[in-house]
Structure 1
């Protein structure tokens, strides 16, 4: 099979890009012909065959000023240049299936329209809530919000969802509103959602249930699973408000003993979290910065539990799956897709968000009974081996690809 993966960034920038490259490697290793298309960018992976057809690079974070900002806003709604570029790529690569990932803003739905015009079947993996929420995260100024899911995107303007800025929020609301009104995503044959929670949000936003399929993420870490009970705790991910790392630091003030909370990652709150840890829990929190995957896996495997204190609706975070694959249980909040992964008392513990005292109680129980925590980790390891393995994920992808192609043939599309 010839598979073209499409994403705005073509370097390992985040979870969406990591998933795309990992799945592409799995597909290539079993004989599929795989290529990638997206935006021209100085950090793109080297040697991409279709690079001369890529969409022109544009910087949107931070957004450009002056007249350039108007051009960037127009590109977010519809990009003729992106459409021309992917048309050239389609003609050259001749894919059997196009697999979209994050194409919002820099590429726009124009690339989906181009694939539809070329009569090529396509699927789209949902890595966030953008189709239902103008600001991606179901958050309004840091607070949980689903106002735009089932009603107009004007709520994003009223609540100034984008960093409190009226102008930036208006741009996002207009972009999403135009896309909804024009049915910009209607040409996607099938949406793949890693969690039931995200699938339900997208369904409530107006996507027909028959066009959404739940397909869990895949995990295949290179690290060795924990061989016995660990001692410390670890939180890994972006150091930003929605991740709730500050809650974990506050909880450490009530965890007895000399247990250390290891923090692996970087982000806009790095300095404020350092200051908070120094003030509230001196000597109890150790910051490692962003670690290479092998080092991170070794750190997680040495701990009694991974902490996911998110205050937003996580979809299906790889930090949970990677911890499970290392035989380490997870203590997480009960938002979004997290309860679909973490079964309270079996593979970890669930706590309410923004409740450091409740989190501290669970962490204390883990640290005080590491043998029971290790048993939870062993059950989590069994879960990922059966439901989140590369083999099961590829089988699910193959079924989705086949069903989309058969559906188009049955409907007489592309005949």
Structure 2
């Protein structure tokens, strides 16, 4: 079968969870199918979107170079020039299946409709809350948790500063929080109308998909509460387990506490920094992340990090096993609810003690012996968990082996069954 995978980005441009999952799943499919990848590349110099044909590690790749400007949301949500490039590709490629690993992030929300009209099955693997939240994480413009879009009324304030009345914040808040959602079309601002159009297109994509897959029950529940009540499956992401077989730790005179992730507030490095203030000095904090991400340098500069902290920048994804061999305790202190981040799975696969914020979407199987939970945003409780993990690691104990993480080859077999199933 010919399968076209879609994501907003893809290696080698980005190696975050969504991109890695898309790459590994497409690669696993290549054993028995013909996978292709369609993704975007942010090019500030691009005047119009342009399609490039290339390959990445044996996978045929169709990438669109374009200027991705969330500050111009109409063009970011709906892009006719990008849609034409995709439609032309569909006509040439004629895929049996279009599998959306991501369907927002600059991808036009008309693309799922075009895929269906082109005769392809459509599958949506949900990786965050982009279907119901333009910011994708259900956090508002002030970084607080958002309970949902309220038919786009909350989004109008979050994206544009108001939903009804500019300069009248109290009245605007009263209206957007209390107006019946059935009357949301009364909002006079173009921003709210655009967000409602976006929500309608996203819900239509989900309603008409042949299968929607959520990574955990919490994610599925939140989408259902926003009206996305179509039949769906809950299946955690798989990873390629082969690189982590036989993982061993390198020797060290100090316990090594590791953080791997974006250097931004929602990933919780600040919580980790505060928790370390109460630990004895005999430890080393190693931090991996990209200081060139927008806002990263200012955020890191605002933190009080311990003297024994080393910034080690970024690393090739293929070095993940080697990087984890020099980490005794891995910490995932996220301040947002998460959606089964892959870094937790790498901790489990390498039998690394992994201290994680007890967020509802952190992992589907909470019983794994490698995991030690703490209350999200609580430095004191994180300190307790670190004491426990360091004692175990430095006592020579390793977590028991676990079958909790799905191998990407098994996940490819599952999706093959979905692709080949009769309507």
**TM-score over 0.5 for the pair:** yes
1:134-213 matches, within 5 Å, as 134-140=134-140, 141-148=142-149, 151-158=150-157, 160=158, 162=159, 174-181=193-200, 183-185=203-205, 186-210=207-231, 212-213=232-233
Which stretch of the first structure deviates more once superposed, 222-231 or 390-399? Answer: 222-231
8 Å contact kept, 1:195–1:215:
yes
1:59 aligns with 2:68: yes
Other-structure match for 1:47? 54
Q: How does 1:307-322 map to 2 (within 5 A)?
A: 307-322=331-346
Asked if structure 2 preserves the Cα contact closer than 8 Å seen for 1:77 and 1:178, the reply is no
- Give the 3 Å change call, closer, same or farther, for CA 318–99 of structure 1 in structure 2: same
Q: Report matched runs for 1:188-267 at 5 Å.
A: 188-210=209-231, 212-220=232-240, 222-223=243-244, 224-226=246-248, 231-266=255-290, 267=293
- Using the TM superposition, give the Cα deviation of residue 205 of structure 1 relative to its aligned residue in structure 2, in angstroms: 1.8
**Contact between 2:4 and 2:35, CA under 8 Å: does it hold in 1?**
yes
| Deviation of 1:80 (Å) | 2.8
Counterparts of 1:244-323 in structure 2 under 5 Å? 244-266=268-290, 267-268=293-294, 270-272=296-298, 274-275=300-301, 279=304, 281-283=306-308, 285-323=309-347
Among residues 358, 374, 388, which one is paired with 1:351 in the alignment? 374
Q: How many residues align?
A: 377
Q: Would the aligned equivalents of 2:215 and 2:364 in 1 still touch at CA under 8 Å? A: no
Q: Deviations over 1:14-34 (max 9, x none)?
A: 322221122111111x13111
Q: 1:255 to 1:276 in 2, by over 3 A?
A: farther
**Which residue of 1 is the match for residue 184 of structure 2?**
none
Q: 2-side partners of 1:92 and 1:393: how far apart?
A: 28
Whether 1:332 aligns to 2:360 is no
User: Shift of the alpha carbon at 1:195?
Assistant: 1.9
Structure 2: any 5+ residue segments left out of the alignment? Answer: 45-50, 164-188
Q: Distance in 1 between matches of 2:22 and 2:214?
A: 14
Q: Any conservation in 2 of the 1:366–1:373 contact (CA below 8 Å)?
A: no
Aligned to 1:336, the other structure's residue is in SS state: coil
Deviation at 1:250, TM superposition (A): 1.0
Q: CA deviation at 1:209?
A: 4.2
TM-score normalized by the length of structure 1 = 0.81
- What's the Cα RMSD here? 2.9
| Corresponding residue of 2:409 | 391
More helix by share: 1
